[in-house]
Structure 1
Amino acid sequence: MSAMTDARETLNRLWKPGCDFLGSEVAILGGAMSWVSERNLVSAISNAGGFGVIACGAMTPERLEEEIVATQALTKRPFGVNLITMHPELERLVDVCVAHKVSHVVLAGGVPTSAIIKRVRDGGARAIGFAPALALGKRLVKLGIEALIIEGSEAGGHVGPVSLTVLAQEILPHIKDVPVFVAGGLGRGDAIVSYLEQGASGAQLGTIFAASEESIAHENFKKAFLRANARDAVTSVQLDEQFPVIPVRGLANAGSRGFLKHQAETIRTFQSGGVSKEDAQLSIEHFWAGALRRAVIEGDVENGSVMAGQSVGMVKEVRPVSEIIATLVEQAVEAIAKREDRVHASA
């Protein structure tokens, strides 16, 4: 047997728990990105052997149903739906997923209740949650979550404060009962292997797929990714702790600079008594309303929100999803083969 065949078998063994859990050929999930992770991209990822995930975001139950049905028309393979736990109609959204036999539901953006997890599982779907710390990961498993995603601050969109390197060391050695998928800053297969060897069951990638051929993102949006370096993907800045800003990672542009000015002006107005604290907070929160759609769909990458992870610096061309996944697998296999060579050479 050749070294590469051995390496491929090793990779298959390393992410088998993830593949078995997802029902996919490779344990690579697509990150759920609002406006981007819809029927076309989700079905392309699943059809290429990965696991696509619809980003429900602020969709109504009716709109989500439409998206699920449209995705099922494009792929016969499993895919998931990412639901935001703070959505006012969360129970109805879960019911829509269950009614249409969606195989996996990802509960994001907060700690799901045991009742919601039970609703997902009783309906026949698998429940996945996000763990930004070990204690929360253990708590979620006790509540009935069947798999965890640990996402580092390198990721695009809404992020926590801790890098994947640290989260992996904190969580992977201690959570063995359920599959754990790593996310944040991943753009190569060899990096995925390093986490599989630490005990991860697979990986979630977003940025690399947002710039794929099948992504419906505007050409301007994809071009912004191709031009960007890792350091261009920055988190939103909070000027005053009295007015909290949820950290979101995206490409620095006129919009992000305008947000700083808007915060400063709003805070000044509040301090001079021109506006109440509540109205000032709302004004700051509403600044980005519709900004992601402006960038992704309309192509306004200067004033819109161009959410991207730090792996954006590795996105050098717009490629088909199948090619992206094949490259990730190839890189992973090569990394394992090279490691074996080094180990035997030093023996």
Structure 2
Amino acid sequence: MTAHSKTSALMARGCEFLGSETAILCGAMSWVSERNLVAAISNAGGFGVIACGAMTPALLDAEIAATKTLTDKPFGVNLITMHPDLFELIEVCAKRGVTHVVLAGGIPPKGSVEAIKNSGAKVICFAPTLALGKKLLRSGADALVIEGSEAGGHIGPVSTSVLAQEILPTLAADHLVFVAGGIGRGEAIAGYLEMGAAGVQLGTRFACASESVAHPAFKKAFFRASAREAVASVQVDPRLPVIPVRALKNKGTEEFTAKQVAVAKLLDAGEVDMGEAQLQIERFWAGALRRAAIDGDIESGSIMAGQSVGMVNKEEPVTEIIAALMAESEAALGGRAGAPVIAA
């Protein structure tokens, strides 16, 4: 990485932690962040992360094993904290020697962080606020990801730039903090690295990589979309805690509103408890995303995308995406790699 000496120097802590050549993680995208894309990203010097999503322990076991046949580089596994088989999934990761486990979807349940660390793996957690970030670090998290509302998929209410200003000055000097949400170019990466980030996480930019198994129709929807078309879902019933999801607006967006109403009625009737209600919502998203990403149903499926989608306009190999990001970052930092940065 001598061609990107300034960027590499700022990424050094993140690279050492991840065991990768660059501190660029791929966000876990259900159905898309599977063996092919994960291995390609790790082989290209980034850090791939398998999206476990709703997988059973047996399916995750097979996916990790298959990924290891495609790369000998480190990669991680993203586990959803509300998964009913979370501890079995952790055991699968331990058995397969996974080096990094990302816990997403809420506060990690009691004993989960300890179970992961007992296997020798590193724990990465999402921190939507400074207070929660501090709590997660005290509870044993080895690193944090702060992800802004510009991201695709499940999102929080605060923008990436605000989270970075709130959290990095306080935590970044002594802890590893990766920034995510709305990052589509290397200039943004450079800015967050200069603020103290150990690295960054991108999802939308990698969703349309040549190695991504996403359906051609799904990728074409990305190429046509602008930032304003990636909208956040609306919470219909305040009693039903639903984490907003950012996706390209289509019929699937309307169907989710109807799904919330239906689940709220089941909750009112006492036919499901709150935990089951949330799981039904998660299963809806998992199924809707599969219809779009794998089956190519971009009308009623969920085309999860971040607001950086407007910067995704062609299919590229992962190696070219990472090379471009590093060159853009280096140029922004005043290095020689890449073209000079031109002010708007």
SS at match of 1:215: coil
Structure 1 residue 157 and structure 2 residue 153: aligned?
yes
Preserved contact between residue 30 and residue 53 of structure 2 (Cα < 8 Å): yes
Structure 1 residue 181 and structure 2 residue 178: aligned?
yes
In 1: Cα distance, 2:242 partner to 2:328 partner: 38
Structure 1 residue 21 and structure 2 residue 17: aligned?
yes
**Residue 278 of structure 1, CA deviation:** 5.5
SS at match of 2:54: coil
**Residue 233 of structure 1, CA deviation:** 0.3
Total equivalences in the alignment: 330
Question: Share of identical aligned residues, percent?
Answer: 60
Structure 1 residue 217 and structure 2 residue 210: aligned?
no
Q: CA offsets per residue over residues 304-337 of structure 1, 9 Å max, x none?
A: 0110000000001010111000000010111111
Which residue of 190, 195, 200 maps to 2:192? Answer: 195
Preserved contact between residue 156 and residue 243 of structure 2 (Cα < 8 Å): no
**Residue 50 of structure 1, CA deviation:** 0.2
SS at match of 1:107: strand
Unaligned runs of 5+ in 1: 340-347
**Residue 257 of structure 1, CA deviation:** 2.9
Preserved contact between residue 114 and residue 144 of structure 1 (Cα < 8 Å): no
Which residue of 29, 34, 53 maps to 1:57? Answer: 53
Amino acid at match of 1:330: A
Task: Report matched runs for 1:162-173 at 5 Å.
Answer: 162-173=158-169
Which residue of 23, 34, 37 maps to 1:38? Answer: 34
**Residue 262 of structure 1, CA deviation:** 6.0
**Residue 338 of structure 1, CA deviation:** 7.0
TM-score (norm 2): 0.90
Task: Report matched runs for 1:193-272 at 5 Å.
Answer: 193-260=190-257
SS at match of 1:160: coil
**Residue 280 of structure 1, CA deviation:** 12
Preserved contact between residue 114 and residue 143 of structure 1 (Cα < 8 Å): no
Which has the larger displacement, 277-286 or 304-313?
Answer: 277-286
TM-score (norm 1): 0.89
Task: Report matched runs for 1:120-131 at 5 Å.
Answer: 120-131=116-127
Structure 1 residue 148 and structure 2 residue 144: aligned?
yes
Preserved contact between residue 24 and residue 78 of structure 1 (Cα < 8 Å): yes
- Closer, same or farther in 2 for the Cα pair 1:174/1:48, shift >3 Å? same
Amino acid at match of 1:218: H
Structure 1 residue 276 and structure 2 residue 269: aligned?
yes
Alignment-derived partner of residue 342 in structure 2: none
When the two chains are superposed, the root-mean-square deviation of aligned CA atoms in Å is 2.5
Amino acid at match of 1:223: K
In 2: Cα distance, 1:206 partner to 1:278 partner: 36
Structure 1 residue 75 and structure 2 residue 68: aligned?
no
Preserved contact between residue 187 and residue 205 of structure 1 (Cα < 8 Å): yes
In 2: Cα distance, 1:111 partner to 1:244 partner: 14
- Closer, same or farther in 2 for the Cα pair 1:168/1:320, shift >3 Å? same
SS at match of 1:162: coil
- Closer, same or farther in 2 for the Cα pair 1:226/1:280, shift >3 Å? farther
SS at match of 1:317: coil
- Closer, same or farther in 2 for the Cα pair 1:313/1:84, shift >3 Å? same
**Residue 51 of structure 1, CA deviation:** 0.2
Query: Between Structure 1 and Structure 2, whose CA radius of gyration is higher?
Result: 1
SS at match of 1:187: coil
Alignment-derived partner of residue 345 in structure 1: none
Q: CA offsets per residue over residues 79-110 of structure 1, 9 Å max, x none?
A: 00001111111111111111111111111111
SS at match of 1:337: coil
Preserved contact between residue 30 and residue 286 of structure 2 (Cα < 8 Å): no
In 2: Cα distance, 1:193 partner to 1:279 partner: 47
In 1: Cα distance, 2:227 partner to 2:57 partner: 36
SS at match of 1:15: helix
In 2: Cα distance, 1:58 partner to 1:289 partner: 7
- Closer, same or farther in 2 for the Cα pair 1:84/1:289, shift >3 Å? closer
- Closer, same or farther in 2 for the Cα pair 1:145/1:258, shift >3 Å? closer
Structure 1 residue 139 and structure 2 residue 135: aligned?
yes
**Residue 254 of structure 1, CA deviation:** 1.6
Preserved contact between residue 6 and residue 335 of structure 2 (Cα < 8 Å): no
In 2: Cα distance, 1:48 partner to 1:186 partner: 19
In 2: Cα distance, 1:314 partner to 1:141 partner: 34
In 2: Cα distance, 1:50 partner to 1:190 partner: 17
- Closer, same or farther in 2 for the Cα pair 1:329/1:338, shift >3 Å? closer
SS at match of 1:208: helix
In 2: Cα distance, 1:106 partner to 1:338 partner: 32
- Closer, same or farther in 2 for the Cα pair 1:277/1:224, shift >3 Å? farther
